[in-house]
Structures are given as C-alpha cells and as structure tokens.
Chains A and B, each alone.
Chain A
Amino acid sequence: MTRYAAIKLAEALAVMLAVSFLVYLVLEANARDVAVKVLGQFSTEPQRDLWLAENGYNQPFIVRYLRWLWNFVRGDWGVSSHYREPVAVMLPPRLLRTGILAGLALLVMVPASFVLGILAGMREGTRTDRAISFASVVTTSVPEFASAVFLSAIFVFWLGWLPGASTTPGFAWEEVVLPVLVLALYATGYLARITRASMAEVMMQPYVRTALMKGASPARIVFRHALRNALVAPITVIMLQIPWLLSGVIVVEVYFAYKGFGTLLYEASLNGDVALIEACAMVSVLVIVVTQLASDVLYTLLNPRISFARRPDGAA
C-alpha cells in the first residue's frame, strides 16, 4: 500500500514536472515576447531591454526555467502583469469560488443522475427507461455555451426572474442558479446514461437473479446487491468530471461573469498574463493528478477485486 502510494505520487510529480517544463517552454521561450506582454505593445525597445535585464531574462533558458521552478515550489508564483497583484494572493479566492460552483453542480448532478440512471437501468426497455434515456441524450448533446444562452434568454431576458451576471463580490444564491443549472444540465444526462448502462448490466448478473429467487424485495436487491457494483463506472466518470468542472467551467463562468478560476484562466490567456497562465496551468495539473489518485483509492473501496499493487509473491 505504502509502496503503491509512493509510486503513484512519484508518477504524479513526474507528470507535473513535465507539464511545468512544457508550459514554461511555450510561454517564456521567447523572452522578448514576454517583455512585450508585460510592458504592453507601445513600450519602446530600451524599456524592454531594461526590463529583460532587470528580471534576469538574459540568462540561458534552462537557468530561467530552474529558477522559475524553484520559486514556484517555494510559493513565489510571480505577479500578474494584468492585475498587478501577486498570483499566489489572487488564486485561492478564485479557486474557492469555483469550488463552490463545482460542488453545487456535483450536488445537483450526482443525486439526480443516480436516481434517473437507477430508475432507467432497473427495468430496461420500459417507458420510464425510454423517457429518461431520451432526455439524457438531448441535454448531453446541447453544449454549455448553447444552454447558457437558452437559459438566460428564458430566465433573464424574457421572464426576468434571475440575474444575468454575478455582480456581488461575495456569494449570492440567485446568481449561482443559472451557472449551476447549465453545468448540471450538461453532465447529468451523461452520468445518468453511464449509471443506467452499468445498472442494467448488473441487473443481468446471476447473483441478482439468485437474490430475486430468494424472495428479496426490489429495494433490497437494488441497494444491497446491485448498487455498489453498478457504481464503479459512474464513480470513474465523476472523478473525470471534477477536473472538467475546474477547468471546463470557463465557458459558464465567463458567460455569467462568475469570478472563479475559469474566468481567471480565460482572462489570463486573453491578456497574455504569463505568470497567471503558468500558475493556473499548474493548479489544473495538480487537480487532475489528485483526482486520479483519489479515484484509484475509491475503486478499491467499492470493488475489493481491484486492490493496490498485487505482487506475484503476494506481498503488498
């Protein structure tokens, strides 16, 4: 177990190191471009030269990379050229806000899709199954940028029930309704389809039939025998949804002016805000790596047949 965790951790670190190098290479290989991005297009050549010298950009690329990496590890993430604020100060509140949005979306999405998926998968081919499957396919095939427009056309421009953008610096319930709805609408259908397929497969298993013949109630069959096995696939999908929620919320956050991590990354890319893009990219990688580790752990809890590092000699 410890050995397995150590290997996984080493892998994660290697991935992060590789990504950090690529990110740095793409953004900072051309030092002069960085100077233009930081100082603006109307800066003069002498100003740029001065800036490059002041910030150590005249050194070889690899030296710059290592210095940047060392600073990054120590928590010195540089200063955003656009907001003129330390990146390490800007990121946590943004991550928190996205965390709230993603958490709420998961809170709506997971129960809804499990209920729908189980209802549909319990009795394959019934009218309930058809209706749920149809609705799931429809909502999944509408991308967020389209559903954001539809939903705000209805609730903001036509009915006037909900605010069209996030204007409160803190948190306001009515302002997250639409973003959460858009996020949940897209992913619920997909997750419900996965749950349904998984559930339907488990319901065909001999042990379910045995339970049925023993005279177990449908509730007992579903909750006691089928559910745990049926959840392996949906859990994988949810684990994949978390990184997606963190970075993929860009569309939704930007559309509703919700000040989270997605908007920050988007604005940073638009403004060529090098330090901010680097930090956002690293945070994204971190989240992906951590959720992958978490999903590996969750598997073993759900399915004892998958276990950590089964060695040929049987030692763990």
Chain B
Amino acid sequence: MFNFTTLTGGKPHPEVPALAEQFRGGQIDRREFLRTVAWLGVTAASAAAFAGVAPGAALAEEPKMGGVLRIAVAVQEITDPALVSWVEGSNLLRNVVEFLTKVDADNITHPFLAKSWEPSEDLKVWTFQLQPNVKWSNGDAFTTEDVVFNIKRWTDANSKSSNKSSFAAITSVDVKDTLTFSITLNRAILSIPEMFYAYTCPILHRDFDKVGAPWPKNPVGTGPYALAEYGVGQKAIFKRREGYWGKKPYLDEVRYIDLGSEISAHIAALAAGQVDFIARITANDIELVKKLPKVQLLTAHAASTVCIRMQTDQKPFDDIRVRRAVLLAADNAQMVKLAYRDLGVVGENHHVAPFQPEYFKLPAVARDVAGAKALLAEAGYKDGIDLTLVLGNTQGRWEQDTAQVLQQNCAEAGIRVKLNVLPATEYWPIWNKAPFALTFWVHRPLAVMTLDLAYRSTAAWNEAHFKSPEFDAALDKAMAIVDPKQRALAMQAVEKIVQDAAIMVQPFWADKFTAASTRVQGLRLHPSDYHDLTTVHLA
C-alpha cells in the first residue's frame, strides 16, 4: 500500500485507499483522483507521486474541447417532461432543460438554477434565490415566473405528474421579486432541495403550455445544448448552443442511439467503437467488460435494493415470530456474494444504506439458525413451515438468484420456501398484494425519502402493511432535522423499529455499473442514473 502524506501529517481519510484502487482500476481518471484526494487533505505532492506525474503537470492538462459523445440508450417518446416515467428519458432532457438544484453522485445537493435556499426554522417555509443572468434558448430571461408556472403545473388539480403527490404538502408559492420566491408547506419536509432534482422536475419555460407537448416540438430550455433531431426508437441529437449562462461544456454534440433492450448488443457496439458510453450493464456483464481493451468500467454504490417483505396482517406473517425466524435464517452476506457477485453492500433489514447521509450504525445481528427453529416451534410450527415467495425479476435474473439463496438459507431452519417467479409485467400488478414477495426499490438520495414512501402507516406504497405509530413519530422527528449528522442520531430509533419489527429481509444494496470507452473522461456514475455531461470531455 502506498503511503499518502496529508496536510495535517495525520492518517489519510479512510476513502483515500478506495479512491487509489478506483484510479488504478481505471474507474476514475487522474484529474478526478487528484482533485478528490486533495479535498480529503492529501498533499498534492504525494498524490501526484502515486499517480505517476510530476506535481503540477496533471493540473496543467486542460480537458480538450469538442467532439461527439455517442450514448446507447432507449429513445422513447417524450410528451411532457413533467410526465417522463423513465430515467433515461430525463437524461436526454437534461441536456436542454435544467433543475432548481443538483444532487451529485455523493448525494450532496448543490445550487443549480437556484443560487441558494433557506428554510424557516420549522422547515415549513423555504425561500429560494434564483441564479441571475440565466437566459432561455429563445432569448427570454429566466425568472421566478417560470418557476411558479412549473410548480403550479405540477400541483394543479388536473396534474397527471407524479410530482403532484411529491409536492402535495405545498400550500402556496409566493413571489418576492423576479429572482426570489418561497414555498409554504403544511408539514415540515427537509428534503425539498433534493426533491427539486427528481427527474420529473425540469424547469420548463413559462409559455410551455402555449405551444404544448410533445416536448421535441417545443424544446425551449436554459441548458447548454439544443435539440437537433429526435426519432423515437432511433436516435436523439443535441448540439451545443451559444449563450449558455453557465460554464461552457466540453462536448460539441451528444448523440443518443437506441439499440433495443439487449445489453449484449450495447456491449458489442461499445467494443466495436460504435458508441462511447452505454447506459447500463448488469453484474453478469462485468467480466466481459473488464476484458475489453479501451473500455473502462464505472461503478457506484447506490441505495437501490430488493425488499423481501412479509405482510404483517397476513397469515402466517401476522405472527412476528415467523417473520423473525425468516430474518434469522437469512444470510444476507451470502446473498450478495452468490447472487450479485459481491458487488454490493450487505443490508441490515431496515432500508437505510451505510452510504446515505443519515445512516446510523446499529449493532450487527448475527445469523442464528437454531434461534430461528426455536422461534418457529414457539409459534406452533414444530415441523417447519411452507411459504410461497412471489417475485418478478423486474431488474434481471439476480432477483431470482437472491431468492434461491434465501430459499437454501431458510431450508436449514425448516422453512420451506416455494418460489413463484412471474414475468416482470405480471409482477407489477400484484407487487403490493402478495403476502410474501420480493420488490426492487430504486435509489433515493436520502433514506427518509424512501421510508416516508414505504413504511409510514398511511403510505400508499406500504407493501408490508406495516403500521407503527412509534415508527411514524420517530420518522417525523428525524425528518425535521436538517443537519445530516444530527439526523443520523435520530435515525437510530427509526432503524431499530423497522429492524425489530422484522418486516423484511433486505439483503443488500446493489451497486450500479456501466461501461464507457476510455476516450470518455470526467464521467461519474450517478446512483440514480442521472447523467451529468457538463463535466465530460473526450481524450
């Protein structure tokens, strides 16, 4: 191991060895490595010595301007950006339209179209200051009028956008001047800035509805690129435009090519140099990608997971001893190892990820097969129990592999699990109806956002039928604390209630990976799959 020296002379930050490993593996480039370890307090000289460059040389190396980036992605019809139901679609829009805030790959929220924001003490009134000098591509100035138009549109009684329920707490939007506005909520929500970066929240021009949908016919935006061509199922082309308010991006053109849903075709196209970046690969493709010359593997931790949840009001899961027995029999570490090639982080059955800002580390619960058996016997199942687990492989075959490992784990404790594997499209109609089922949950920057959606007594997506007033109160308390570190302390109770209630086996956090040509630099994989191409340049 290389010895890094730090500015303070102490031990380097624990992330430094991991970054060094990523740099060695080609997952981050030299510039990124040097910049990041510098933030973490490593001296420039020692970082440069590790990276094999003379001090200063790397920093002098300015990214090259120009070039065309070709991305393999599904190009579907976009009617209204506020109704986009697929993340890839929002990535196309992202070149043209922008958001009030930006959440980076480390789940940190940054200013974007909003220069700053300030919540009231009770978190019920949020005042936003907009970036001055922002111009729309049609020449109009960007003002609070645009923002109010969008928020009103999302929360309107006739709105079909998923933003309607996300922002249901908004009671009024008040304009102070052309660059200042505030929103008033009927309850405290601390994740408002993060929520403005949801992929359905791009800010459209105030006259969007005058021309109306579909978006490709009306692509006015504040972003650095302009839409040049849009063909559903074919391609989308974006060209850099003049007069962008922010830092000029490096790429001249971004071209999206639809290659269908078969990932092997995407990898073949990448290997043959027909595309530079593919939107997504699976754990099974990693070995191949690693072997390809001129291709880099990008990875990121993400708070996306599967919840193998049990409905607390359905037999036999209404008996907490049965649920506890399943949790004790489950070997979460083995599931990530066998079903996901160890490319993830072990879960702790409470749906808060160690890399989310508010995570609180609870004492580890060891696997206990004998304990599981004892609990089952106590619950009246001396000869074991038969359960049926429903799943739909909605994200791929690894969901079934995970269930099979659980099946083996449970067999040791006398729990005979039968798997009922449905096609993905058959699974979604019943995802919250089956008593025992495996559901995939996407990444959200804050754990409380997921908990609020999935485990609150009144939550629409409460698939485990979990009803606990203590949990609701503990969550409310945590959600009203702004400082992530302070919030983590309040999360102890929240995590503990969920874990103790034994409502689900939440085996692991599935990493994200994708592949790009080594020409592509400055690209970081975002846990929500949001692409930020403004930092990308070609070698």
Contacts and interface: CB of A to CB of B under 8 A. Distances in A.
B257 A267 contact: no
A270 B425 contact: yes
A165 B428 contact: no
Given A36-B428, A84-B232, A165-B259, 11 more contacts: A40-B85, A41-B428, A164-B270, A164-B271, A165-B266, A167-B275, A257-B262, A257-B266, A259-B233, A270-B424, A272-B425
Interface in A255-275: 255-257, 259, 263, 266-267, 270-272
Given A160-B272, A257-B260, A84 B429 contact: no
29 contacts: A36-B428, A37-B425, A40-B85, A40-B428, A42-B162, A42-B461, A47-B160, A84-B79, A85-B77, A152-B268, A157-B268, A164-B267, A164-B268, A165-B265, A165-B266, A165-B268, A165-B272, A165-B274, A167-B259, A167-B274, A167-B275, A169-B231, A169-B234, A254-B261, A256-B265, A259-B260, A263-B260, A266-B261, A272-B425
A157 B262 contact: no
Chain A binding surface, main DSSP class: loop
B337 interface: no
A164 B269 contact: yes
A48 B191 CA distance: 29
Contacts of A257: 259-260, 262, 265-266, 269
B460 interface: yes
Contact of B272 (A32, A41, A83, A162): A162
A167 B235 CA distance: 9
Nearest to B162: A42
A256 to B, nearest CB: 6
Instruction: For the complex of A and B, list the 3 residue pairs with the smallest distance between their C-beta atoms, beginning with the closest.
Output: A164-B268, A41-B428, A272-B425
Given A42-B162, A165-B269, A85 B232 contact: yes
A157 B292 contact: yes
Nearest to B288: A157
A266 B233 CA distance: 14
B468 interface: no
B264 A255 contact: yes
Nearest to B392: A41
Interface in A26-66: 32-33, 36-37, 40-42, 44, 47
A170 to B, nearest CB: 10
Interface residues of A, number: 37
Contacts of A42: 162, 461
A290 interface: no
Interface of A: 32-33, 36-37, 40-42, 44, 47, 82-85, 90, 149, 152, 156-157, 160, 162-167, 169, 254-257, 259, 263, 266-267, 270-272
Contacts of A255: 262, 264-265
Interface in B221-279: 231-235, 257-262, 264-272, 274-275
Contacts, number: 96
A229 B258 CA distance: 48
B340 interface: no
Contacts of B162: 42
Contacts of A272: 425
A164 B288 CA distance: 14
Contacts of A36: 428-429
**What size tier do the contact residues of chain B reach?**
35 or more
A135 B472 CA distance: 70
A194 B39 CA distance: 72
A279 to B, nearest CB: 15
A145 B292 CA distance: 21
Contacts of B160: 47
A31 B455 CA distance: 29
Nearest to A263: B260
B466 interface: no
A41 B431 contact: yes
A32 B425 contact: no
Interface in B29-70: 70
A169 B425 CA distance: 29
Interface string B408-436: 00000000000000001100110100000
A156 B271 CA distance: 7
A41 B429 contact: yes
Contacts of A163: 269, 272, 274
Contacts of B259: 165-167, 257
Contacts of B269: 163-165, 167, 257
Contacts of B270: 164
Contacts of A271: 425
Nearest to A82: B76
Nearest to A48: B429
A15 to B, nearest CB: 27
Nearest to A30: B429
A255 B232 CA distance: 20
Nearest to B78: A84
A152 B275 CA distance: 16
Nearest to A272: B425
A149 B271 CA distance: 14
Nearest to A80: B77
A156 B295 CA distance: 14
Contacts of B266: 165, 257
Nearest to A175: B274
B289 to A, nearest CB: 11
A267 B429 CA distance: 19
Contacts of A84: 76-77, 79, 232
A169 B461 CA distance: 40
B503 to A, nearest CB: 20
Q: Which of B162, B233, B275 has the most CB of A within 10 A?
A: B233
Q: Which of B72, B235, B260, B275 has the most CB of A within 10 A?
A: B260
A149 B235 CA distance: 26
A197 to B, nearest CB: 36
A150 B237 CA distance: 33
Nearest to B85: A40
A164 B272 CA distance: 6
B213 to A, nearest CB: 10
A85 B292 CA distance: 37
Interface in B428-455: 428-429, 431
A45 to B, nearest CB: 9
Nearest to A170: B234
Contacts of B85: 40
Contacts of A164: 265, 267-272, 274
Given A83-B233, A160-B272, A32 B264 contact: no
A162 B431 CA distance: 43
Interface in B460-505: 460-461
A256 B269 CA distance: 9
B232 A83 contact: yes
